[in-house]
Amino acid sequence: MQNRWLRGVITIVLVVLFVSTLMDLLNAPSNALQQAPYSSLVTAINTRQVSVAQVDPATHEVTWSSKGKQYQTVYALGYTNDLSNLLDSHGAQVSIMKPSSSGVWIGILGDLLPLAIVAGFLFFFFRQSQGGGNRMMSFGRSQARLQPDTQSTVTFADVAGVDEEKQELEEIVDFLKNPKRYLEMGARIPKGVLLFGAPGTGKTLLARAVAGEAGVPFYTESGSGFVEMFVGVGASRVRDLFEQAKKSAPCIVFIDELDAVGRMRGAGYGGGNDEREQTLNQLLVEMDGFGINEGIIVMAATNRPDVLDPALLRPGRFDRQIVVHRPDQEGRKKILAVHTKNKPLAEDVDLAVIARRTPGFTGADLANLANEAALLAARGRQKRLSMENFEEAAERVMAGPQKKSRVLSEFEKRVVAFHEGGHTLVGLMVAHGDPIHKVTIIPRGMAMGYTMPVPEEDRYLITKEQILDKVAMSLGGRAAEAIVFGEISTGASDDLEKSTSMVRQMITEYGMSEELGPMTYGSRQDQVFLGRDLMRARNYSEEVASKIDQAIRHIVMQQYERAKNILVQHRTTLNQIAMGLIDKETLSSEELRSIVQATT
Ligand code: ADP
Ligand code: MG
Ligand code: ZN
């Protein structure tokens, strides 16, 4: 970096020297003309001493003769007419030079060179501060890059361990390959596909693979790219991107980090970000603008689905949402296989063992791990990557500062297994438990179901019994920790918040408390500052407030005790579920059912 900077400075100094020499040369009188100041010229004209004058508007120089001598004078730009009139009216014979092309060139060059140098300087420093790239010249134009089919060689084979996600994308690929078949059936293909998932789970990779599989062009732009540099270009960039895309449909437009532009409008204190909102609006306009089956599929990725503007998720926009999960053990093994494909492995390397040792690793972590192992092997001048290399590499990746919190230690794994087992078992034992598809102890950085509240319209009728069962189930995690370990962890804070707010709603909104009766407390206020959070204005007394708090506590405690009782009664089942989780990380509903049947 330092070096490049120095080189840049030297280059500029050289250029300046060269240019100034050149300009001297250009300005040098071409023959033995004598330079005369403008004032002498005027005096000479006024005293009618000028007989012949030749005005050159290109260089704004006048060559004139007086008393047999030749002079040259530079006059101010734009005075050609005035000067020739003056000469004319004082009896001089005036001729105006036809601008010869080289003359114009030299004139313009003379005028513009200093400007160009200044601009060059500015440009240079811009590049420096931007860290390279030709952004200055292309601002306003989309930086989306068109990748020819030959270059986008990523296919589904390169993305491992996300089979469900791939299956969902299969349809999109098929449509891009044979749009006709779908058009004939009158099918409506989603315009927008949104990929949710923790960083490094392979969202970008999946989007590329869809383009690669279908063999269509892939335009990509990141959300932050839209709002990057100059105010007011985001919207035009979006327009530009879609213009390009329309020309080469069928194709995929991929917007990475959608949350950078797609945050809720009007959310947060201190007003919104106008630039971002305009960009978002333009994006919505474009997405509504093209027809349903025009062959453009907009894909986007984000790890913050909770902050997205609801307008983005409406039908006709990103109406297909795919959660990209962290890989499970089997998935991790497959990802490791992808990333060790071109690496010579020693015989003792067992990818399954490495996969078991790396719960919580994302695809990116595993790619990193494989690379670290290769580096270690190379440093040790080995012929092949050994198991030892992988083990050391795993430790390195785990010890990485930000990753530590996501990867479970053996003890944490046990706590989480019993915690999740507690939820599951209570859920299975109560009458109205949510159906459990699977249970897993793979850390979910952004546990989808929790952060996405059920939209108001979708709320179906729900009875008091059902709410209480849900509360018991969400307290089951904490209850299990208390029973098994005799101490409790911070892992349950989300559950506690959820159950408390369920009970509060039950009392204040649905009037389901015996003491407080069928009344609502507080009225709903429109969302003003807090984005999606609804605030309830208080319209009841302190006394009632404390009664509400008491009622909430009473119900929560009741359900906590109930959850504990269930777990104590079915302790063997709880143990079996937890052991299964520690061993396999994920249990399907069938596996759960067989555990329950075997132990009760
Ligand atoms: P995201 O966009 O979700 O943050 P990326 O798609 O950029 O993650 O993934 C980063 C890298 O991690 C990829 O280039 C790839 O090498 C690796 N990777 C991630 N997920 C997978 C996967 N499922 N299979 C194979 N490699 C993966
Ligand atoms: Mg990405
Ligand atoms: Zn929990």
Interval 217-267: pLDDT, tens? 888 877 777 666 555 677 777 888 888 888 877 888 888 888 877 766 655
Q: What is the mean pLDDT of residues 390-414?
A: 69
> Other C-beta atoms within 10 Å of 325: how many?
22
Closest CA to 173 of 301, 295, 312, 316: 295
pLDDT for 271: 47
DSSP secondary structure string, 393-452? HHHHHHHSTTTTTTSPPHHHHHHHHHHHHHHHHHHHHSTTPPP--EEE-S--TT-HHHHS
Say which ligand is closest to the CA of 479.
Answer: 3
Residue minimizing CA distance to atom 14 of ligand 1 = 205
Decide: 161 in ligand 1 pocket, CB within 6 A: yes
Token representation of residue 80: 């050609």
Check residues 354 and 443 and name the one with the higher pLDDT. Answer: 354
Ligand 3 centroid to Cα of residue 522, in Å, is 29
Q: Reply yes or no on whether the pLDDT at 128 is more than 60.
A: no
From the CA of 334, give the closest atom in ligand 1: 24
Structure tokens at 105: 């060139």
Please confirm whether the linkage preceding 250 is cis (ω < 30° from 0): yes
Which one of 150-164, 205-219, 431-445 scores highest in mean pLDDT? 205-219
Residue by residue, DSSP assigns 17-78 as HHHHHHHHHHHS-SSSPEE--HHHHHHHHHTT-EEEEEEETTTTEEEEEETTEEEEEE--TT
Paired sense of beta strands 320-323 and 192-196, if any: parallel
Helix and strand totals (H; E) in the chain: 23, 15
Rounded Cα distance between 21 and 16, Å, is: 9
Q: Is 162 in the pocket of ligand 1 (CB under 6 A)?
A: yes
Q: How far is the CA of 221 from the centre of ligand 2 (A)?
A: 11
Residue 46 tokens, joined: 């006024």
- What percent of the chain has a predicted confidence (pLDDT) above 90? 14
Query: Is the Cβ atom of 358 under 6 angstroms away from ligand 1?
Result: no
Q: Does the structure show a pLDDT above 90 at 454?
A: no
The better pLDDT of the pair 89, 4 is held by 89
Residues in CB range of 599: below 8 A, 6 or more apart: 570, 572, 573, 576
pLDDT tens by residue, 68-115: 788 888 887 777 778 778 878 877 777 777 655 555 566 667 777 778
Using the mean position of ligand 3's atoms as its centre, give its distance from the Cα of residue 450 in Å. Answer: 10
369 within ligand 1 shell (Cβ under 6 A): no
Average pLDDT over residues 464-473: 89
Q: Please, what are the domains in the chain?
A: 2-103 (3.30.720.210), 145-324 (3.40.50.300), 331-398 (1.10.8.60), 410-599 (1.20.58.760)
- Is the overall model pTM greater than 0.85, yes or no? no
| Cβ(160) – ligand 1 distance below 6 Å | yes
Question: CA 26, CA 107: separation in Å to the nearest integer?
Answer: 9
Percent helix, strand, coil in the chain, to 5, is 55, 10, 35
Helices 464-485/542-569 angle, 10° precision: 60
Distance from residue 495's CA to the centre of ligand 3 (Å): 5
Among 163, 164, 205, 255, residue to substitute to test ligand 1 (most atoms within 8 Å of Cβ):
205
Determine whether the shortest distance from the Cβ of 331 to ligand 1 is under 6 A. no
Q: Identify the three-state secondary structure at position 510.
A: coil
Q: What per-residue confidence (pLDDT) applies to 556? A: 95
Instruction: Identify the top-confidence range among 310-314, 316-320, 411-415, 474-478.
Output: 474-478
d(CA 507, CA 505): 5
As a whole number of angstroms, the distance between CA 202 and CA 215 comes to: 19
Ligand 1 and 202: CB distance under 6 A? yes
Q: What pLDDT score was predicted for residue 453? A: 28
Q: Which residue's alpha carbon is nearest to atom 5 within ligand 1?
A: 202
Q: How far is residue 411's CA from residue 325's CA, in Å, rounded to a whole number?
A: 23
Contact 422, 489 (CB under 8 A): no
pLDDT digits (tens, 9 = 90+) for 531-577: 344 455 667 888 888 999 999 999 999 999 999 999 999 999 999 99
Mean pLDDT to the nearest integer, 457-470: 73
3-state secondary structure of 353: helix
Q: Is the pLDDT of residue 524 over 60?
A: no
Identify the residue whose C-alpha is closest to ligand 1 atom 21: 363
Residue 220, beta-bridge partner list: 145, 254
Catalytic residues: 420
* Token pair for 537: 């204005």
The alpha carbon of 559 and the centre of ligand 3 are apart by a number of angstroms equal to: 15
pLDDT of 32 reads: 62
Q: What is the mean pLDDT of the chain?
A: 77
